[in-house]
Every structure is written in structure tokens, then in C-alpha cells.
Amino acid sequence: MVFDFARRTALVGVGLTLCLPSAHGEILKYTDLDGHVYYTDRPMKGSYYELVWRSGPDPTKTHFSAKSYLRNRSTFTPLIDATAEQLRLRPELLHAVVQAESAYDPDAYSNAGAVGLMQLMPATAKRYGVSNSWDPKENVDGGARYLRDLLERYERDVSLALAAYNAGESAVEKYGNKVPPFPETRRYVKKVLANLDRNIKEQ
């Protein structure tokens, strides 16, 4: 299945639903020579794609469609942009975090208890006065304020702020204010930075 994001009217294939217990789902992005952007779960041989989203370690709990991804992105972009402006964050960065954390799914939930668009942990939600983490506005506000505080704490070092967002501030401190050597955290930082670079280029 391929979505032409530039034309929006071209839809090839059937709806994508990730529910097979033996497979991990992915959403990949492809830009052709004419600048048209496509989203697909089935890369064509010989083509270069960018990974936009991959399902979690338990795909049986993940039901994701490319159509929902694009719809949710359109729905929550005004909220994310407004929050970024209010908190003086780069909207491209806030979007990059949301893309990596939840792929714009407000109902995203992890086995660790992280919730919503920015995958707020209960302790973080409490710290920032978020009473309902399932509410997109509260979720984005709490997560964005946490990200802003991390950027200030690490003197605008985006990699360190992202590492702390993923692994916690104590983990960053433990390893001498460097990105911890956790494979998951390093993959996360790399993914968000790639999202950020892509978002900037799309402006």
C-alpha cells in the first residue's frame, strides 16, 4: 500500500492493519524525482525509503494504518505547532519527538506505562501537573515542557535532551552527561534527529 502525500488522492492497495503476531510493522517514506512524497508499508526493490515509524516489540498490541497516521498528523499538527510556539520550541523538533514516540497516535500505550502522543510516564505527568495523560492537549503540553526543561538543563544539546527524555536524567548523569550506551536510547536519539532533519527539509 502506498500513499501519495503530495497528491493526497492517490491510494494504492488495501488498508494497512498490523495485527500479525509474527511480524513488525513499518511505515516508510519515499520521495520520487518529481518531489512527490509517498508513504508505504511495502518498499519496492531498488528504491530508497526513509523509516518513519516501526511498531513496538509486541505487534499483537499494535493496530496501525497509514491512513490513520496521516489523519492524526493533520489533526494534531495545529496543537503541536501552537504548543511549540508558546514554549519557544522548534516545532520541527516537537513533531520529531511525537513521530518517534507515538506516530501521532493519541491512544498509544507502552508496556512501561507511557501514554499518548508524547508517551508521558506517570511520574513525568505528575511532575508537570498533567491530570489526564490521555487528553492530547495536556499530553503535548506536559511532554513539551519536559523537553524544554531538558534542553535548558543540557544547554540546548538536543542529543542529551533526547537521551534524557528516553532514558531519564539520572541515566545521562550516570554516564558523565553523555548519551548512555543503551542501544534503545541511542537508536531513539538517532531516530528523532533523523525525523528533525527530515521535518526541516520539508518546510
Domains of the chain and any CATH numbers = 2-61 (no CATH), 67-202 (1.10.530.10)
DSSP label at 44? P
Which pTM does this prediction carry?
Answer: 0.71
Instruction: Share the mean pLDDT of the chain.
Output: 80
- At residue 110, the pLDDT reads 85
Does residue 119 register a pLDDT over 90? Answer: yes
Q: Catalytic annotation on 101?
A: yes
pLDDT cut 90: percent of the chain above it: 62
pLDDT given for residue 54 in this prediction: 55
Residues 6+ apart with CB under 8 A from 103: 27, 52, 53, 64, 69, 72
> Could you give the CA distance from residue 68 to residue 55 in angstroms, rounded to a whole number?
14
Q: Which three cell numbers stand for residue 90?
A: 522548534
Active-site residue identified among 92, 101, 152, 202: 101
- Identify the sign of the CA torsion 104, 110, 195, 84: positive
Q: Which residues face 26 on adjacent strands?
A: 54
